[in-house]
A and B are shown apart, each in its own frame.
Chain A
Amino acid sequence: MLVSVDMNGKSVEVEVRENREGLLEVELDGKCYPVSAQVLPEGGVSLMINNESLTVYRTGDTLYIGGTQYHVHADDPLKKELLQSSSFKAGEGTVTAAMPGNVKKILADEGMEVEAGQGVVVLEAMKMENELEAPLAGTVRKIHVSEGQSVEAGTLLFEIE
């Protein structure tokens, strides 16, 4: 089975095969690793890659190895190609709330020119104030929230163009 794996903005193709003895062989960058895999309870998988023992936990696209998180997305390479060719980029100047919180302050007005990295909205969550910056230089097209408003994760905050 061919698997396309994305990590840190790079994409690699990995081939996973099962040999006659039921052991897995994983091919990456021209190298072949024999892998023994055992599913553990609660999202754990024990892997022995070339006899190197590794316990991995995962939730969605996040893998936990030795206390470190890796964001890795695995998918069918064919499906990915289709997606990419038909995809439209969600506006690069669009900023959404990464987490639920409260809009503490709005630092820019609609129609204002902003630099990339300039603070536009201050979101307060868990006692911390986070200044959300303009991802690119341009004009503030629309601010979708007002001061004092509570927002859910994913709420559209503002757009720069």
Chain B
Amino acid sequence: MFKKVLVANRGEIAVRVMRTLREMRIRTVAVFSDPDRAALHTLMADEAWPLGGTTSAESYLMGEKIIEIARKSGAEAIHPGYGFLSENAGFAELCQKNSIVFIGPPAEAIRQMGDKVTSREIMTAAGVPVVPGFDKPDMTEADALAFATEVGFPVMIKASAGGGGKGMRKVDSPEGLEKALRAARSEALSSFGDDHVYVEKFVQNPRHIEIQVLADNHGNVIYLGERDCSIQRRHQKVIEEAPSPFVTPEMRQKMGKTAVQATRAANYRNAGTVEFLVDKSRNFFFLEMNTRLQVEHPVTEWITGLDLVAEQVRIAEGLPISLKQEDVRLQGHAVECRIYAEDPENNFMPSPGTVQRLSTPAGPGIRDDSGIYQGGEISVYYDPLISKLTTYGPDRETAIRRMCRALSEYIVAGIKTNIAFHRKVLNHPEFADGSHDTTFVDRHLDELMNTPTGDEPLAIVAAAVCYYLDRKPATGTGQVQKCSPWKRFQRSSWM
């Protein structure tokens, strides 16, 4: 069993992984960049080793340096979190060469699933449904046009090495094809160093539904239900939930079995996610396999009662998965809101700065996986995700109401966040009845941005009172106002 594990990440996910490691009585090793000397993950770990550098490339992406720290500190394994080196096959290989366990899939599975064309081929061969597509080296405009005419417009052009919406173009008619091909190729080249693109049929108004899988070294593969991640903005997930309000029990079983098939075809180990696009008629198509722990894994943990990081560690230690498929019970409903340091009123621009005040929600059914603390800095150099807030309830409506309550308790001052934006989405009738799809945010953005909360008059009164208090001559204690009911009953200040 591992005695010491290095967490090659920062922010909320490093903190989340360390929490489980600590529960497993495993010593934690953090690595940190120069700006992260006082970050929460650095402070929280049993050991913290400097990586130097400022940008991701100079710090958390320095694979060799991280291996060296693992060796020096005596860590037997590395948990990569998500992002950074988590889906870097070269890094997984480097760990193996240095006899350090990479808590994740084998390098070959990362490599194959990381390439959209290869993964499509593997899935097609394994009988997993994929979106109809066309791919050929040096595909010409005529090739693409022939395919698009056959399946019908619109089509999507995608970068083979792509992800996160980069190198992706939707084409509505033959006229736009040439320009889109050129733009996608150039973007793919600059983002991934590879200009290989392919064409796919565009699925109209799809839902994004993904299946969590676990695979061990003993031939066991299980699925842990689905997550619905249809609330997205520019292909980035914003709100996720489990189970999906769209998935029927029969469909869940069918998707689950397909995901297990896909996992076996990829020769996969450890925790992974098989993403599907689902059309209005409930047909589902393989989108990609994410070869790491997902940001939104807590919603699955809520409804299964499992700790996915603990499962990952056990699988990496060579142990079997802690339960069999027939023992998986999905109970209740969970929702996740990703809290970003960004300004929805200013085109969702990132909003770095000092967290001047932080007050986090608590109480029944609430979990806040945060990477920040009051007085801490949100750095300009890294991802603006500051926390994942998840709530749980016996049913969807309770979980959503609980989330609204939790968001109303969540105060982050000093930087801008999307907390209010989340409340507006949750209160929207289309989200409430569960009929939304991935185009929800685009279709309703103006409406969401311009809906008043109803508290505006209170804000005006509050602003006027604060202005008055600031300018009023000090009264005795200077802080406590005369009108305080406590003061009138001769009680001293409770502060």
Interface of A toward B, CB cutoff 8 Å = 1, 3, 5, 7-8, 12, 14, 16, 18, 21-24, 26, 28, 33, 35-45, 47, 49, 52, 54, 56-59, 62-70, 72-75, 98-101, 125-128, 130
Q: Is B464 a contact partner of A16 (Cβ separation < 8 A)? A: yes
Q: Is A99 a contact partner of B352 (Cβ separation < 8 A)? A: yes
Q: Please, which residues of chain B bring their CB within 8 A of the CB of A1? A: 468, 471
Q: Is B480 a contact partner of A38 (Cβ separation < 8 A)? A: yes
Q: Is A68 a contact partner of B461 (Cβ separation < 8 A)? A: no
Residues A16 and B479 in contact in the complex (CB < 8 Å), given A57-B413, A62-B413 = no
- Indicate if B408 sits at the interface (CB-CB under 8 A): yes
Set A18, A33, A59, A74: member contacting B414, Cβ < 8 A: A59
Instruction: Give the dominant DSSP class at A's interface.
Output: strand
- Indicate if B458 sits at the interface (CB-CB under 8 A): yes
Q: How far is the CA of A16 from the CA of B468 in the complex (A)?
A: 7
- Indicate if B293 sits at the interface (CB-CB under 8 A): no
Q: Please, which residues of chain B bring their CB within 8 A of the CB of A22? A: 481-483, 488
Q: How far is the CA of A21 from the CA of B485 in the complex (A)?
A: 11
Q: Please, which residues of chain A bring their CB within 8 A of the CB of B457? A: 28
Q: Is A66 a contact partner of B455 (Cβ separation < 8 A)? A: yes
Q: How far is the CA of A145 from the CA of B482 in the complex (A)?
A: 54
In the complex, residue of chain A having the shortest beta-carbon distance to the beta carbon of B486: A38
Q: How far is the CA of A141 from the CA of B430 in the complex (A)?
A: 45
Q: How far is the CA of A47 from the CA of B468 in the complex (A)?
A: 13
Q: Is A126 a contact partner of B382 (Cβ separation < 8 A)? A: yes
Residues A67 and B466 in contact in the complex (CB < 8 Å), given A33-B461, A35-B461, A98-B349 = no
Q: Please, which residues of chain B bring their CB within 8 A of the CB of A28? A: 457, 460-461, 464
Q: Is B458 a contact partner of A49 (Cβ separation < 8 A)? A: yes
Can you list 26 A-B contacts with CB-CB less than 8 angstroms, sorted by A residue number? A1-B468, A3-B468, A12-B460, A14-B464, A18-B482, A28-B464, A33-B461, A37-B484, A40-B495, A45-B469, A47-B461, A57-B411, A63-B459, A65-B459, A66-B408, A67-B420, A68-B455, A69-B420, A70-B459, A98-B349, A126-B341, A126-B379, A127-B382, A127-B383, A127-B384, A128-B349
Q: Please, which residues of chain B bring their CB within 8 A of the CB of A49? A: 458, 461
Q: Is B413 a contact partner of A43 (Cβ separation < 8 A)? A: yes
- Indicate if B490 sits at the interface (CB-CB under 8 A): no
Q: Please, which residues of chain B bring their CB within 8 A of the CB of A58? A: 413, 466
Q: Shortest distance in angstroms between B293's beta carbon and chain A's nearest beta carbon? A: 19
Q: Is A54 a contact partner of B462 (Cβ separation < 8 A)? A: yes
User: Which 3 pairs of residues, A with B, have the shortest CB-CB distance?
Assistant: A22-B482, A126-B350, A74-B467
- Indicate if B367 sits at the interface (CB-CB under 8 A): no
Set B350, B411, B455, B463: member contacting A5, Cβ < 8 A: B463
Q: Is A64 a contact partner of B479 (Cβ separation < 8 A)? A: no
Q: Is B481 a contact partner of A67 (Cβ separation < 8 A)? A: no
Residues A65 and B383 in contact in the complex (CB < 8 Å), given A5-B464, A38-B484, A45-B469 = no
- Indicate if B419 sits at the interface (CB-CB under 8 A): yes
Q: How far is the CA of A18 from the CA of B469 in the complex (A)?
A: 11
Q: Please, which residues of chain A bring their CB within 8 A of the CB of B408? A: 66-67
- Indicate if B173 sits at the interface (CB-CB under 8 A): no
Q: Please, which residues of chain B bring their CB within 8 A of the CB of A56? A: 462, 466
Q: How far is the CA of A120 from the CA of B390 in the complex (A)?
A: 39
Interface string of B340-361 (1 = CB under 8 A from A): 0101001101111000110100
Q: Is A45 a contact partner of B467 (Cβ separation < 8 A)? A: no
Q: How far is the CA of A45 from the CA of B466 in the complex (A)?
A: 8
Q: Is B347 a contact partner of A130 (Cβ separation < 8 A)? A: yes
- Indicate if B246 sits at the interface (CB-CB under 8 A): no
Q: Is B352 a contact partner of A100 (Cβ separation < 8 A)? A: yes
- Indicate if B410 sits at the interface (CB-CB under 8 A): yes
Q: How far is the CA of A100 from the CA of B352 in the complex (A)?
A: 8
Q: How far is the CA of A1 from the CA of B384 in the complex (A)?
A: 42
In the complex, residue of chain B having the shortest beta-carbon distance to the beta carbon of A130: B349
Q: Is B455 a contact partner of A65 (Cβ separation < 8 A)? A: yes
Q: Shortest distance in angstroms between A14's beta carbon and chain B's nearest beta carbon? A: 4
Q: Shortest distance in angstroms between A50's beta carbon and chain B's nearest beta carbon? A: 10
Q: How far is the CA of A143 from the CA of B495 in the complex (A)?
A: 53
Residues A98 and B455 in contact in the complex (CB < 8 Å), given A12-B460, A14-B464 = no
In the complex, residue of chain A having the shortest beta-carbon distance to the beta carbon of B459: A70
What would 11 more interface pairs be, CB under 8 Å, given A8-B456, A39-B480, A68-B453?
Answer: A1-B468, A22-B482, A26-B465, A36-B485, A39-B479, A42-B357, A47-B461, A58-B466, A63-B462, A68-B423, A128-B349
Q: How far is the CA of A43 from the CA of B495 in the complex (A)?
A: 13
Q: Please, which residues of chain B bring their CB within 8 A of the CB of A128? A: 349-350, 384
- Indicate if B409 sits at the interface (CB-CB under 8 A): yes
Q: Is B416 a contact partner of A125 (Cβ separation < 8 A)? A: no
Q: How far is the CA of A37 from the CA of B466 in the complex (A)?
A: 9
Q: Is B380 a contact partner of A125 (Cβ separation < 8 A)? A: yes
Q: Is B409 a contact partner of A47 (Cβ separation < 8 A)? A: no
Set A24, A52, A73, A98: member contacting B465, Cβ < 8 A: A24
Set A21, A62, A67: member contacting B410, Cβ < 8 A: A67
